[in-house]
Each structure stands twice: as C-alpha cells, then as structure tokens.
Amino acid sequence: MAERTTIVLDPATRKAARELARRYQCSASEAIRRAVIRQRDLELGVSDEVRRRRSKALERLFEIFEGVDPEAEVRRIKAEDAGF
C-alpha cells in the first residue's frame, strides 16, 4: 500500500524532476519514484526476485525468437513501412 509523503525540492531538483517526467511521460511524482528505485538498485543491487523475473523474461524472449531470421524480419518490416 502506498503512503503519502512530502519532500521539499530546491528549484534545480524540481526542474530535474519535471524534465524526467516529460522524458518518461509520467507525473513528477512517478519520475521521482522511478529515480529512487533505480538509485537503490544501482547502489544495493536488485533483489533475487527481480533477478529471477528478468531471467525468466529473457528466456521467454529466446523462445519467442528461436528460428527467426533477422534479415528476413528487417526486410518484412521495411516492406510494411514502405506504404507509409
């Protein structure tokens, strides 16, 4: 469950939060939440659960793209885009 908190931002930090929000296309609050989580992950590393989920997602991608010819896929996409 989320809890509400108040933080005081100096003008430069507030501007940085708004810039991130525009980049992420989200609210400034969400941009700050993402920045805090990312910094935690960089400093402390990701949890075993996150690591397992990422590994599982990567394995799934390997399964999905097994046997796909990348050059043929690029040709197909370029042909589809030619109409635009």
Q: Compute the distance between CA of residue 78 and CA of residue 42 in angstroms, rounded to an integer.
A: 38
Which tens digits make up the pLDDT trace of 1-26?
788 899 999 999 999 999 999 999 99
CA quadruple 4, 40, 22, 53: dihedral positive or negative? negative
Once rounded to an integer, what is the mean pLDDT over residues 46-60? 93
The pLDDT of residue 2 is 81
